[in-house]
Chain A
């Protein structure tokens, strides 16, 4: 299977990338890991005239951790780099675990987190943990920049708000409060590798003393046109003591917030099971 022909650019600065994007807009595509782009090009789902490789630009593969602000992940950071980064493992363990689940060993060496988000697959594994971590994206273009919450980034299956002349410069993840933890639970469509049938991320912040939930965030992958937050279910948990009945109710409500298309009954049932498991695991981590 061949990649259709294109004109190739390998700029050495972000400014250059931005001016190329500004010039070619929809006719250009950015190349980071290539694991989504080249598949789509081979299948002729995307046929850019111009491919702009980001790898010639210094520093885009950086993960930066600051005690005050949190984490910033550049557009060339691979899943593998996230898996192994001490700041990610130390502060957002379930994000590292999720990235270890994505793709395969080879794909994790090539594919990038930002690329995964830009692909905007409804079944994106990385999206759910990032949604519950309240991640934001910094988008830039030749004449400016904007910061958008990840939740607003996805607009439909494989669709984002990214304008043709824009690129994602970084993912920003805020610092997590004390007595908080997250968990990502999933099952595959089949076998132990591959696309996720249902993925559920939960991020909990508990009261300083007891099991009362100060804030709960629930993210779901692969059960709606985009990765989603299950906000009604979150409200079931907020302010409550996390006892079995409340947890089960939240899981039930979360499953009702899903809009799966294929294997709908099963996906709903699994949303319930996985949300419950994720809540329990997050609680376990806080203890």
Chain B
């Protein structure tokens, strides 16, 4: 096999120098002459009618340049999902009603932040409070206050159903009847949040030619452009969303946010640049957090642990608007059926409106909570059957070549190898056996496993990625890609691919990225398809450029294009090192002899090229993805049985990501996910009381700090390879590894203490209580 020079190597980040020297510009850093500061007025009520808004006093305050309310907008709704079944349900600024505390009611632009803030206090809003509901199961009751009319197609005795997913296969009742053991458990995931370090921020600058330029802390410019253009009534080509570095996102910056709309509209009204930066308190109180789901799980197995039937009911507390709630109940089905074979399944998921802030995807989008439920119960079943946790997983794990119940083909799958290798490396069976023999000791060790699987790109707007690779006269390269580097290293791996395909050094490549005006479309950094979909688009563009270069070079060198190789901006004839021309000469020859062709390579890619659209969110019918990643993770914990405090000592991740394009970046993704899982499992929780957020700072909502660092180990299970010219199938590495780890931690805590915690987070008092109850028995 041809040896690779760039792909598969831990080359340093393309943006490393800019970021290490403080020169990388984020949205919060943007300034332009004449800039105004924008601020948002938010609803203090969880549910209320807006009777009247008087902005006159605010408008009269010197220094205030514009005040907008719902009346100043076109009244066009938007939504994370916009389909005939699930039409958009949220105004960018509230019109006649507010449905959660923090909902945007008005916005101002002023010459400084002090004046903008004062202006907010001068806006008088008359509300009429309405009854509100916060708990999803209460909201489903027939007597609950109605937040939106339930979806008409969902014929249920329940209220406030924003969406429902219902699917299944086989004969569920027969499956349970044939089972040796049937378990029913209820698991609850908590409300947690992303904690991106850069708060939400937007900088909008409208010019008199009718063009709106927007820098915004996001996860992909093309979806932002589409939603801004639609809600503002502008043609797409007049909305330019430009690249700014993004200070973390993790799913929390995908959808259109009100402040992006407001900064744009305020800039349009004033003709001046407008910047809105949220305070951290606003982020906690009003931004979109993750999805807290309840999972009711009934599982039937044979005596040997083989799964026979599973009945899954998922309830999502979606908040006041649909957000991604209807996606998460679809995805939870997928995360159930991907990892283990289930011959008979009945799945139903409800996304329920409540008077809480809207929800967003958060890294794993349902998978961490769902896998916590499934893999916790898997251990409970294994224990009842007297089977080892490793064996029961091996028995049920998906394998290469299987056809999933939805028709997707598992072309490659390293799950079995992941489970085997992670068990071996961590000496799982020994430690697991020892874990149970520590009765009476204060400090106990425990080990636990979780597995997860994740899709790598699916079909959702804009559905495709394209790329352009331009040769410059000296043979250096410009890569134009719509992909946005949010820290995961998109620009770096895309450059590695160009370097590999073309035979140029990393330094020879300049990346122009994430600009809706100058770069081609991209799926965005939020559908776990960056390396796969955008990567292949770039690969095709680079190999197109190389093909053109070689055509020219072949003529000049009097050789066949197939006999040429490129290295260091030089094209050689294989086997005759003396016969070569430089890229620079080839470009000059192309311009001179091929009607001025300067050599521009183009490529585009789409996952599942023969599938028209995303599967149905309601029925799961249709193909979902053609590329699945798998992992098995082991957590090793220490529990102080006097205090209930849990320390995550070591995390080992065995993963099938196809192959890593940049191992050090993949390791970084794993470390970050282990850390997020640690917080998720052990202490992170957004506390709310009647729609009001109680945890409003990093003091109240703790994320892991350096002292909490977990020793992280990695095992690569390689199932795919990179070959020049043809598309490759590397898989996602950004979301799956937060998902197995939560369950692994919960299982490790059980192994250490014998206490099974089914509601996250695993607060120490839950362990202490559990230990006390065990003692009583």
Which residues of chain A have a CB within 8 Å of any CB of chain B? Answer: 1-2, 4-5, 43, 187, 189-195, 263, 265-266, 269-270, 273
- The contact of B683 among A191, A195, A265, by CB within 8 Å, is A191
The size class of the interface chain B forms with chain A is 20 to 34
Q: Assess the A191–B702 pair: CB atoms within 8 A.
A: yes
Q: Is the CB of A2 within 8 A of B114?
A: yes
Contact between A191 and B704, CB atoms less than 8 A apart:
yes
- Which A-chain residue is minimally distant from B703 (CB atoms)? A191
- Decide: B643 and A189 in contact? CB cutoff 8 A: no
List, in ascending order, chain B residues with CB within 8 A of A187's CB. Answer: 643, 645
Cα of A69 to Cα of B708 in the assembled complex, Å: 41
Chain A residues with CB below 8 A from B763, complex form: 266
Bound together, the chains give a CA A189 to CA B699 distance in angstroms of 10
Considering only CB atoms, which chain A residue lies closest to B701 in the complex?
A190
Cross-chain contact A191 with B705 (CB below 8 angstroms): yes
The CA-CA distance from A191 to B699 in the complex, in Å, is 11
Docked pose: A4 CA to B121 CA in angstroms: 14
Tell me the bound Cα distance from A2 to B110 in angstroms.
Answer: 15
Looking across the interface, which residue of chain A has its beta carbon closest to that of B117? A2
Q: A192-B707, A192-B708, A194-B702 are in contact. Are A2 and B281 (CB under 8 A)?
A: no
A271: shortest Cβ distance to chain B, in Å? 11
Minimum C-beta distance from A261 to chain B (A): 13
Q: Contact check, A189 vs B702: say whether CB atoms are below 8 A apart.
A: yes
B645 neighbours in A (Cβ, 8 Å): 187
Cβ-defined contact, B643 with A273, below 8 A = yes
Instruction: Assess the A43–B643 pair: CB atoms within 8 A.
Output: no
Report the Cα distance A30→B525, complex, angstroms.
Answer: 48
**Contact residues in A for B281 (Cβ distance below 8 Å):** 1, 43
Q: Which residue of B lies closest to A192 (CB)?
A: B707
Residues of B within 8 A of A190 (CB): 682-684, 702
The B75-119 residues at the A interface (CB cut-off 8 A) are 113-114, 117
State how many angstroms separate the Cβ of B673 from the closest Cβ of chain A. 17
CA distance A190 to B280 in the complex (A): 19
Given contacts A5-B114, A187-B643, A269-B768, 20 further A-B contacts (CB under 8 A): A1-B281, A2-B113, A2-B114, A43-B281, A187-B645, A189-B683, A190-B682, A190-B683, A190-B684, A190-B702, A191-B703, A191-B704, A191-B705, A192-B708, A193-B702, A193-B705, A194-B699, A194-B702, A194-B705, A266-B763
A265 touches B765 (CB 8 A): yes
Q: Does B271 contact A (CB under 8 A)?
A: no
Q: B752-771: contact bitstring with A at CB < 8 Å (1 yes, 0 no)?
A: 00000000000111001000
Q: Which residues of A contact B279 (CB under 8 A)?
A: 1
Question: Are A273 and B702 interface neighbours, CB within 8 A?
Answer: no
Number of A-B contacts (CB under 8 A): 47
- CB-nearest residue of chain B relative to A4? B114
Min CB–CB distance B280 → chain A (angstroms): 7
A266-B770 Cα distance, complex, nearest whole Å: 13
Q: How far is the CA of A10 from the CA of B200 in the complex (A)?
A: 36
B705 surroundings in chain A (CB, below 8 A):
191-194
A270 to B640 CA separation, bound complex (whole angstroms): 12
Q: What residues of chain B lie closer than 8 Å to A192, measured between beta carbons?
A: 705, 707-708
How many angstroms from the CA of A193 to the CA of B679 in the assembled complex? 13
**Which residue of the partner chain A has the closest CB to B642?**
A273
| Interface SS, A side | loop
Residues of B within 8 A of A (CB): 113-114, 117, 279-281, 642-645, 679, 682-684, 699, 702-705, 707-708, 763-765, 768
On whether the beta carbons of B702 and A1 are closer than 8 Å, the reply is: no
Closest 3 CB pairs of A and B: A190-B683, A266-B765, A192-B707
How far does the Cβ of B421 sit from chain A's closest Cβ, in whole Å? 31
Distance in angstroms between the alpha carbons of A266 and B771 in the assembled complex? 13
Interchain CB contact under 8 A, B114 and A1? no
| Structural contact, B699 and A266, CB atoms closer than 8 A | no
Residues from chain A with a CB closer than 8 A to the CB of B682 are 190
Chain B hits for A194, CB < 8 A? 699, 702, 705
The answer for the CA separation of A103 and B683 in the assembled complex, in Å, is 19
Residues on the B chain within 8 Å of A265, using CB: 765
Determine the chain B residues whose CB is within 8 A of the CB of A43 once the complex forms.
281
Q: How far is the CA of A5 from the CA of B281 in the complex (A)?
A: 20
Q: B280 is contacted by which of A1, A4, A191, A270 (Cβ under 8 Å)?
A: A1
User: Which chain A residue lies CB-closest to B761?
Assistant: A190
Q: Which of B642, B707, B765 contacts A263 (CB 8 A)?
A: B765
Most buried by B among A5, A191, A194: A191
How far apart sit A55 and B575, CA to CA, in the bound complex (Å)?
Answer: 76
- What B residues does A191 contact at CB under 8 A? 679, 683, 702-705, 707-708
A193 to B702, CA, bound (A): 9
Q: How far is the CB of B775 from chain A (nearest CB, A)?
A: 14
Provide 28 A-B residue pairs closer than 8 Å at the C-beta atoms, listed in order of the A residue: A1-B280, A1-B281, A2-B113, A2-B114, A2-B117, A5-B114, A189-B683, A190-B683, A190-B684, A190-B702, A191-B679, A191-B683, A191-B703, A191-B704, A191-B705, A191-B708, A192-B705, A192-B707, A193-B705, A194-B699, A194-B705, A195-B699, A266-B763, A266-B765, A269-B765, A270-B643, A273-B642, A273-B643
Instruction: For residue A221, give the distance in angstroms from its CB to the closest CB of chain B.
Output: 16
Residue from A193, A195, A266 within 8 A of B764 (CB atoms): A266
| B residues less than 8 Å from A1 (CB atoms) | 279-281
- Nearest to A5 among chain B residues (CB) is B114
A263: B residues at CB distance < 8 A: 765
Q: Which A residue's beta carbon lies closest to that of B696?
A: A43
Chain B residue with minimal CB distance to A272?
A: B642
Chain A: minimal CB distance from B169 (Å): 42
List the B side residues contacting A193 at CB < 8 Å.
Answer: 702, 705, 707
By CB atoms of chain B within 10 A, which of A190, A195, A263 has the most? A190
How distant is the Cα of A263 from the Cα of B687 in the complex, in angstroms? 13
Taking the closest CB of chain A, its distance from the CB of B42, in whole angstroms, is 15
* Bound complex: CA A263 to CA B644 (Å): 13
A214 to chain B, nearest CB (A): 28
Give Cα A191 to B195, complex, Å: 15
- Please give, as numbers and ranges, the residues of chain B lying within 8 Å of A4 by CB-CB distance: 114
Nearest CB in chain B: distance from A198 CB, A: 9
Q: Which residues of B contact A273 (CB under 8 A)?
A: 642-643
Minimum distance in angstroms from B592 CB to a CB of chain A: 60
**Chain B residues whose C-beta falls within 8 Å of the C-beta of A266 in the assembled complex:** 644, 763-765, 768
Most buried by A among B117, B702, B768: B702
The CA-CA distance from A4 to B117 in the complex, in Å, is 10
How distant is B200 from chain A, measured CB to nearest CB, in Å? Answer: 14
Q: How long is the Cα–Cα vector from A2 to B113 in the complex, in angstroms?
A: 8
A218 to B705, CA, bound (A): 31
Across the interface, name the chain B residue whose C-beta is closest to A195.
B699
Query: Of all chain A residues, which has the CB nearest B684?
Result: A190
